[in-house]
Amino acid sequence: MEFPDRSEVDGLIDPQPLPEFARVRYEPRAERLDGVAETARKELDELALDGLDSGATVAVGVGSRGIDRIDEVAAAVVERIAERGFEPVVVPAMGSHGGATPEGQREVLAALGVTEERVGAPIDARMGAERLATAGVGDADLPVYFSEAALAADAVVVVNRVKAHTNFTGEIESGLTKMTVVGLGKQRGAKSFHSTALAEGYVETLTAALDVIEEETPLVGGIALVENFEEEIGHLEAVPAGSFLAREPELLERANDEMPTLPVDDVDLLVVDEIGKEISGAGMDTNVIGRYRVLNAPDPETPDVDLIYVRGLTEATKGNGNGIGLADLTRRSAVDQLDLKKSYANALTSGSLAKSKLPVVAPDDEFGLRTAAAALGAYDPETARIVWIRNTQDLGEYRVSDAVVDDLPEGADVVGRETVAFEDGTARFEAAGGDASGA
């Protein structure tokens, strides 16, 4: 596909001046759990492994998110399983991620630091999933699938972060239940789940599928992680099988209390430097940007963001640009990073097609920001409310236009004043009256 270059569109939209920006640092009090490996080892002993014979195989489900110190936690869980006389095996629990291939799922885990060498156990990344049974969900019949690699083990433990989901709100969202149902369902299970959930509801579908899995598989429990505002693990605990639905709502409430958010709810233009699967399943956290864009699930009431401009993809996402469709604008260099096979594997499995649509593609930052200003209508640099962030995970430092400064939350400190300059069309920040730095 050919996109217009700068010379072909330059005359369509007049240049607009950009406001001055304040560089802001926001560091709310956040409780960080030190010694996560020791805590994980201790908590694992709370799960029902005592009935296993010596040498029994224990599958450890690990997912595809950029969770703080996930390699340490996974290695500690594996080590403790081995110390107790069992044979650990790591099973990628990530549905269709990594292009729905064994090689792709190994690659995703490796990007998170989870390798056979690091965790001390083999990784069984086969994509096969066995159909367990059919669960009734509303007016639908839900085929429930489970990883063949996990079923081959004598016991299954999942390790995951509990947090707000990117498609829906409910008593349970992302966490142990979803990893068990969707992650260990592999591509077939993830597709079956999403197809039903879009029509009958996410929580209802998760609940029905989990009932089947607890009845038909050797699931013994999970290690639940909750992160703080700084995206560091603040809490870790073991949750036995049969208790996921009772315990996860409380953990989710804690996660929501500490979840990073934009500094203000009313934003004209949000500029996002990078999106990626390790940041959020939707590339950028939909709860942060205020956009789900899924059927039968209304967008969050806040924040209210008029336009979003995405500038690129992270290295760790390996070309999976799922979520770029949540933006209104992007630039050519971001599109050049896309691996459509991986992006489409996500979209086709989840049924959330909007997240993989291409937004308007600008040749560079200069034209992209000019286009955004024009699209806002009655643009005035003195009143334009612009927030510029690295990604939706790292919100301890960001930039805001002058019109936003007076509305910053308590604890947010302005640490510099900057203007935007362009070098070959690429945006760079300059300290007011000083040197340029990369945007």
CA distances from 207 to 137, 155, 200, 202, 244 (A): 9, 21, 12, 9, 10
Q: Residue 261 CB: number of other CB atoms within 10 A?
A: 18
* pLDDT at residue 435, as a whole number: 58
List the Cα angle 183/31/110 in 5-degree steps. 35
Q: Residue 8 CB: number of other CB atoms within 10 A?
A: 10
Q: Is the pLDDT of residue 399 over 70?
A: yes
Output the CA torsion sign for 198, 203, 205, 209: positive
Name the β-bridge partners of 309.
271, 329
Q: Residue 17 CB: number of other CB atoms within 10 A?
A: 13
Average of per-residue pLDDT values in the chain: 94
Phi-psi label, residue 364: left if phi above 0, alpha if psi -120 to 50, beta otherwise: beta
List the Cα angle 233/235/237 in 5-degree steps. 125
CA distances from 356 to 1, 82, 416 (A): 16, 41, 36
Mean predicted confidence (pLDDT) in 107-121: 95
Q: Is the pLDDT of residue 438 over 80?
A: no
97-110 pLDDT, tens per residue?
888 999 999 999 99
Name the pTM for this structure: 0.74
* pLDDT at residue 28, as a whole number: 84
Q: 260 falls in which pLDDT band (50, 70, 90)?
A: confident
More confident residue, 213 or 353: 213
Q: Is the pLDDT of residue 60 over 90?
A: yes
Mean predicted confidence (pLDDT) in 327-331: 98
Give the CA radius of gyration of the chain: 23
Place of tokens 């400190």: 413
* Contact indicator for 168, 328 with CB cutoff of 8 Å: no
Q: Is the pLDDT of residue 434 over 70?
A: no
Structural domain spans, the chain: 6-29+260-431, 36-258
Report whether CATH 3.20.20.70 matches the domain 36-258: no
Q: In 3-state terms, what secondary structure has residue 58?
A: strand
5-55 pLDDT, tens per residue?
999 999 999 999 999 999 999 988 888 999 999 999 999 999 999 889 999
* pLDDT at residue 89, as a whole number: 98
Q: Is the pLDDT of residue 419 over 70?
A: yes
